[in-house]
């Protein structure tokens, strides 16, 4: 059932959460995304899930020009993209990352300021914001919530700490903060992916591939991610047929 126009083209696709650690995979043709001309295959793979997620988070929170935006886990796969997208939307971007090396990565992507959320008092350095993109959860997210101005928004996309923020709705309402619950139809999710691939092909969005492992080193890749030492996206490289 494949589109014959795609024969001979590079494509990327999800495998539905299983069966991707392999040299060959069978996928539903409807889930294929053509890699645009000018975009490297590994960059397209790095954008497949994270580009969709970043686009959906940006659409949900809708930062406006001049607003101050805090991006947690700013050196992660989604965070690095959110830094770029929020900056392109005209926002002032404050990157919150775990460690000086990761903060430097975020600054290199266009963040206006960076703070290390592993340091005591980091929230005071970040200052008040209008939007929080929460990719850490736990105590970091709960502290970030206290920075959101009345009329601001907070949206969560990850839980690097191991737990969600768990901000009570009544606390948010009392402070005039909207806890955004993003949602999208399957076609909208596909459009977010297509948009991310197109933006990258045009040179306006750059995925950060921080580390690569061979397929038989998948366990090492998981250990690196679990240690929270990775930057950007982690790729497994397989032998092409």
The interaxial angle of helices 41-61 and 186-201, nearest 10 deg, is 120
Question: What's the average model confidence in pLDDT over 201-227?
Answer: 96
Residue 51 reports pLDDT greater than 90: yes
Q: What is the rounded CA–CA span in Å between residue 216 and residue 237?
A: 9
Tell me, what's the pLDDT at 134?
Answer: 97
pLDDT band per the 50, 70, 90 thresholds, residue 240? low
In the chain, the N- to C-terminal Cα span, in Å, equals: 21
The predicted structure's pLDDT at residue 2: 60
Average pLDDT of every residue of the chain: 94
> Do residues 93 and 65 touch, judged by C-beta distance below 8 A?
no
CB within 8 A of 33, min separation 6: which ones?
11, 12, 13, 44, 48, 190, 193, 194, 197
Please write the tens of the pLDDT for every residue from 168-213: 999 999 999 999 999 899 999 999 999 999 999 999 999 999 999 9
Average pLDDT over residues 158-163: 87
In whole angstroms, how far apart are CA 241 and each of 22, 23, 25, 28, 154? 11, 7, 11, 19, 44
Strands (E), 87-182: 92-97, 113-116, 129-134, 148-156, 178-180
Interacting residues of 1 by C-beta distance below 8 A, sequence separation 6+ = 29
Beta-bridged to residue 97, according to DSSP, are: 116
Query: Do the Cβ atoms of 112 and 82 come closer than 8 Å?
Result: no
- The per-residue pLDDT for 161 is 85
* pLDDT for res 160: 85
Structure confidence by residue, pLDDT tens digits, 114-153: 999 999 999 999 999 999 999 999 999 999 999 999 999 9
pTM here is 0.94
- Spell out the domains of the chain, with CATH numbers in brackets: 4-49+185-237 (3.90.180.10), 64-180 (3.40.50.720)
Length of the chain: 241
In 10 A of CB 9, how many CB atoms? Answer: 11
Give yes or no for residue 159 having a pLDDT over 90: no
Say yes or no to pLDDT of 1 above 70.
Answer: no
């Amino acid at each position: 059932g494949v589109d014959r126009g795609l024969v001979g083209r590079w494509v990327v696709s999800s495998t539905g959460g299983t069966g991707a650690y392999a040299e060959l995979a069978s996928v539903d043709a409807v889930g294929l995304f053509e890699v645009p001309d000018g975009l490297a295959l590994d960059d397209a793979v790095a954008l497949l899930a994270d580009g969709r997620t970043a686009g959906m988070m940006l659409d949900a929170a809708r930062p406006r020009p001049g607003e101050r935006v805090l991006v947690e886990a700013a050196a992660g796969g989604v965070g690095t993209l959110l830094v770029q997208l929020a900056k392109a939307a005209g926002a002032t971007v404050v990157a919150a990352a775990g460690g000086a090396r990761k903060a430097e990565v975020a600054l290199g992507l266009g963040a206006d300021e960076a703070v290390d959320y592993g340091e005591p008092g980091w929230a005071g350095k970040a200052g008040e914001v209008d939007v929080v993109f929460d990719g850490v959860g736990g105590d970091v997210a709960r502290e970030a919530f206290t920075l959101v101005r009345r009329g601001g928004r907070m949206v969560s996309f990850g839980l690097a700490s191991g737990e969600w923020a768990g901000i009570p709705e009544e606390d948010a309402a009392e402070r005039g903060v909207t806890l955004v619950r993003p949602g999208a139809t399957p076609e909208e999710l596909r459009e977010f992916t297509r948009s991310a691939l197109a933006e990258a092909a045009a040179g306006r969005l750059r995925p950060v591939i921080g580390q690569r492992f061979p397929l038989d080193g998948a366990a090492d890749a998981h250990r690196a991610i679990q240690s929270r030492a990775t930057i950007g996206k982690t790729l497994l490289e397989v032998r092409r047929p």
